[in-house]
A = this chain, B = another copy of it.
């Protein structure tokens, strides 16, 4: 049984939705270890006690340093010490990164970990990274992200020889900012299957198996994707409410719209991997529901089964550390 440390106190809907999500994951053959305050009703699941909690708005590095007994930090320590195979939290993303660096530590040759988010696209899933671990990045970081994303796509998305593209403002090699132009030059020389630049308008159409960018750009892109999908469907609903014909149409399309909402849901996978550490860390959305948490736990379990960390460790040093 795969043991996953789950931060019971992370996220806007903790602990209720987290505990419920962990219980749902049990039915899929995973063993969640809940980390939270003494007396938490875990419904029979194993509890590791953590007296403190890190808030969503706390400063990450300070919070991790000053609250070693917080649920987020203890969950990471469990993985670092071998008590669990991976950690899942819907808590403070910056604190996840800080705790990961401190208690899981970087893989040899990795300069910066990156947040890898699977995106459901028309032509199957693709992975975008970095989605926000590093607001500022250098070309050699993007180069490493490309390698990490490539291993991820092979292992988790099961794409044979994943195509990697660089998110930029035009498909031509000479379109971009200084960062992407320099990263482009590095990627052309790599042994990855590099397809050149991808434009943001093609993200949902499956621009590539792996889409690489700095964390600022990736975070902007992801939140925009999320916000726009929601805004369009909400606007359609409002527009339909105006006429009787629209209201009837709205009733009829409800099941299809629901399927669409699910299919495009950026939370399909429940979470994002923090790649580049010696342990597996999955970051769930702050407002995750129980089903999103269950999916995040299963995503972590899949990463363990496929030994994502081991494969990154084996392949990164020779491929990416040479820069």
A interface residues with partner B (beta carbon < 8 Å): 57, 59, 122, 132, 135-136, 167-169, 172, 174-178, 180, 199-205, 214-217, 219-221, 223-233, 235-236, 239-240, 242-243, 245-246, 248-253, 255-257, 259-260, 263-264
CB contacts (< 8 Å) of A249 on chain B: these are 249-253, 256
Q: Which residue from B169, B176, B201, B245 sits with its C-beta under 8 Å from A255?
A: B245
Task: Pull 16 A–B residue pairs with CB atoms less than 8 Å apart, ordered by A.
Answer: A57-B172, A122-B235, A135-B169, A136-B178, A168-B216, A169-B219, A177-B216, A200-B224, A201-B224, A205-B227, A235-B260, A235-B263, A239-B260, A246-B255, A246-B256, A252-B252
Besides the known contacts A177-B214, A200-B227, A242-B256, 13 further A-B residue pairs in the complex with CB atoms under 8 A apart: A122-B231, A136-B178, A168-B216, A169-B220, A177-B216, A201-B223, A201-B230, A235-B263, A236-B236, A236-B253, A246-B255, A252-B252, A253-B253
CB distance from A294 to the nearest CB of B (A): 24
Instruction: Find out whether the CB atom of A229 lies under 8 angstroms from the CB atom of B227.
Output: no
> How often does this chain occur in the complex, in copies?
2
Q: Which residue from B202, B232, B250 sits with its C-beta under 8 Å from A232?
A: B232
* Bound-state Cα–Cα, A263 to B236, Å: 11
Could you say which of A172, A225, A228, A263 has the most chain B C-beta atoms within 10 Å of its C-beta?
A: A228
Name the residue on B nearest A247 (C-beta): B252
* Bound-state Cα–Cα, A168 to B220, Å: 7
CB contacts (< 8 Å) of A232 on chain B: these are 204, 228-229, 232-233, 260, 264
